Amino acid sequence: MDALHLLKSLRHVTPPKPAKEAANLLQRANATGHEQNRVSERGWHRRGQLRRRRRRWRRERRGSTSSRGGKKMEKYKSELSKGYWYLGAWRPLAISGHHRARIRKEALLAGEDWPYDPERGEMRNVRKGHKCDRISAEKRAHTAELMKKMPDMLLAYKD
């Protein structure tokens, strides 16, 4: 067997895992029920370092806002409005935009009003077109103006 075939066969071999990771995998495989949760909370190894698992809590699933009524929405009126500029600094939302959108959707589906969005401006009706077309039209107009001035320019050049 030549060296090229040997290298190709070695490429598919997985490198050995660290001893701690192998022990953790073995413990996870043998664990059941409550022990399994404890093992999975412990973390996992990557490049020789133990990484903690992050817990992500979904606050929006604890209860829908539409069932609580409009009192809650009036209480948090300032938090439901979008972020704004104040003295040159951006003041973001008190809650995330994703959470705010979910609350807005639930309110609209429940038939409530949503007065917290800012007024929308008027839409543009005329299309801008392509920049290259605008530039070439401007060049043609400029050339036409210069051609009108050409006889005077020629007389000034001859004198």
Q: Find the helix or strand (DSSP H, E) in which 35 lies.
A: helix 34-42
**Neighbour count for residue 94 (Cβ, 10 Å):** 13
* The pLDDT value given to residue 45: 54
Three-state secondary structure call for residue 96: coil
User: What's residue 140's pLDDT?
Assistant: 98
From 142, 57, 72, select the one nearest 107 (Cα to Cα): 72
Instruction: Say what the pLDDT of residue 136 is.
Output: 96
Q: What is the pLDDT of residue 64?
A: 46
Give CA separation, 50 vs 18, 47, 88, 91, 127, in Å: 12, 9, 43, 37, 57
| 8 Å CB contact between 93 and 82 | yes
12-22 pLDDT, tens digit per residue, is 555 555 666 66
Q: How far is Cα 57 from Cα 110, in angstroms, rounded to an integer?
A: 25
- The pTM for the full model equals 0.32
Q: How many CA atoms lie within 13 A of 93 on its CB side?
A: 15
Tell me the two tokens of residue 40.
Answer: 């999975």
Q: What share of the chain is helix, strand, coil (3-state, %, to 5)?
A: 55, 10, 40
Cα–Cα distance, 142 to 108 (Å, whole number): 54
Q: How far apart are CA 93 and CA 113, in angstroms?
A: 20
Mean pLDDT in order along the chain per 10 residues (159 residues): 54 56 62 51 56 53 49 68 84 84 90 84 87 96 97 93
Instruction: State the sign of the Cα–Cα–Cα–Cα dihedral 46, 50, 51, 53.
Output: positive
